[in-house]
Structures are given as structure tokens and as C-alpha cells.
């Protein structure tokens, strides 16, 4: 099941799924002795007691919840399963996690886009690397993948971990409200404008002229 089409689709889908969970999950959890139930959008992660039930029985029950819902199941292989961008490994005593990188393609540094847009994916990858609870070997492995992604997409630098501020260094007074100016993005010129205003209280953001409205508007 996918939440696509109109911009409101994801919201309507979430309301529908939460309503379905409210009606049925308490019963299903008790019946199948489901220990863990996580859902992100339409991806569900389950841990259940295999001595009491099995994945096919659970799947059959889930597929009776609504005629428009069709659930499929992936099971762990070699005690490992991928959920979103995380790999979950089952050990005799606990669960361990690592990062599941499924693509090395991000917006190339050489593309004609604002620098903020190009570095958004880099910041996400860096924050994910430092947010997951990784062992030292796994951290070094994923850091190497991170650097390879930067190299593959022509990024000229390897971002370093930002220094941690002490409480005394953190700003305690309220941040004044910034003023914003919007410019059409035109490669080097837009970057130059952004640099000019970098040290002022006027924040710069960029937009593109190739919007859906402009593309579909009839020009006489």
C-alpha cells in the first residue's frame, strides 16, 4: 500500500491506519502475543513469540482487517532484517543495529542547485551516522561508506564532527527573529548574493523558476 497521488494522501493514509490500529491492534497483539509493534508510514516491524504463532498466521489475520489493505511480509535471514535504513541483528542475548545504506546516489555537488539543497543529504547522512548506537567497528565502516558517497558525488570536502558546546557556550537569550529575502536561483550569482548577506541579520533563501505553476501556465 502506498500513500501517493495528492499532497493530502499521506495525511489521509495516516488517519486511516491509526483508526485501523485503534480498532484491531489490541486484539491482534493479545492473540498472537506480539511483543514489539512499530510502524513508520506503511512499513511495520514486528517481534512475536514463535512458540505461540508464526508469520503466516499473523499475515493472514492482518489481511482480513480491510478489503483495501494488503500486507506482505519479509522475514529475517541469518538473524538479520532491514527496516527502513536500519539493519537489525538478532543475537542470543539482545538486538544490535547497524545502518543499511541502500544507495550511494545523492544530489551531486556539481549540479546546478543551491548549496543548502546539496548539503541537506550530507547533513542527513552525517546526523544518522552519529545518532545510531553503533559499535566502533561498525561506526568506522559506515564512516568509510559516508566518505565514499561524498567522493562518488564530487563533494570536495569531508565534513568533520562539529565541536560539542558546553552549557556556558550555548546561547541562553532568545534568538531575535530573522528577516528573510527570496531570490531566484541562478548558479554563481545566487551564491555570491548569499555570501554578501551571510554576516547580516537578513537571511537569504532561494527558489527556482521551474515550478509546476510556471511550467503549466500558458504563455502568450
Handedness of CA 19, 20, 23, 25 (dihedral sign): negative
- Please tell me the pTM assigned to this model: 0.60
pLDDT tens for the 220 residues of the chain, in order? 445 556 778 888 899 999 999 999 999 999 999 999 999 988 999 999 999 999 999 999 999 999 989 999 999 899 999 988 888 888 888 888 888 877 888 889 988 888 888 889 899 888 888 888 888 888 898 889 999 999 999 998 654 444 444 455 445 555 566 677 777 766 667 777 777 777 777 777 777 766 677 777 777 6
Task: Name the one residue in this structure whose C-alpha cell is 482487517.
Answer: 65
Distance CA 97, CA 77 (A): 15
Cell of 8: 493530502
Amino acid at each position: 500500500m502506498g500513500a501517493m497521488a495528492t499532497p493530502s494522501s499521506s495525511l489521509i493514509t495516516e488517519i486511516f491506519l491509526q483508526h485501523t490500529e485503534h480498532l484491531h491492534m489490541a486484539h491482534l497483539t493479545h492473540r498472537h502475543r506480539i511483543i514489539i509493534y512499530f510502524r513508520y508510514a506503511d512499513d511495520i516491524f514486528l517481534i512475536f513469540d514463535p512458540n505461540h504463532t508464526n508469520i503466516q498466521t499473523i499475515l493472514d489475520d492482518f489481511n482480513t482487517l480491510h478489503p483495501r489493505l494488503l500486507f506482505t511480509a519479509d522475514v529475517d535471514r541469518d538473524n538479520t532484517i532491514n527496516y527502513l535504513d536500519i539493519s537489525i541483528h538478532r543475537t542470543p542475548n539482545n538486538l544490535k543495529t547497524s545502518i543499511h545504506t541502500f544507495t550511494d546516489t545523492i544530489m551531486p555537488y556539481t549540479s546546478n542547485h543551491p548549496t543548502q539543497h546539496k548539503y541537506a543529504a550530507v547533513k542527513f547522512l552525517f546526523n544518522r551516522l552519529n545518532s545510531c548506537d553503533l559499535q566502533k567497528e561498525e561506526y568506522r565502516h559506515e564512516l568509510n561508506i559516508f566518505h565514499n558517497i561524498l567522493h562518488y558525488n564530487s563533494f570536495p570536502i569531508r565534513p568533520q564532527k562539529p565541536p560539542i558546546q558546553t552549557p556556558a557556550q550555548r546561547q541562553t537569550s532568545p534568538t531575535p527573529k530573522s528577516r528573510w529575502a527570496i531570490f531566484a536561483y541562478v548558479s554563481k550569482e545566487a551564491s555570491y548574493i548569499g555570501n554578501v548577506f551571510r554576516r547580516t541579520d537578513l537571511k537569504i533563501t532561494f527558489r527556482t523558476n521551474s515550478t509546476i505553476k510556471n511550467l503549466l501556465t500558458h504563455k502568450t
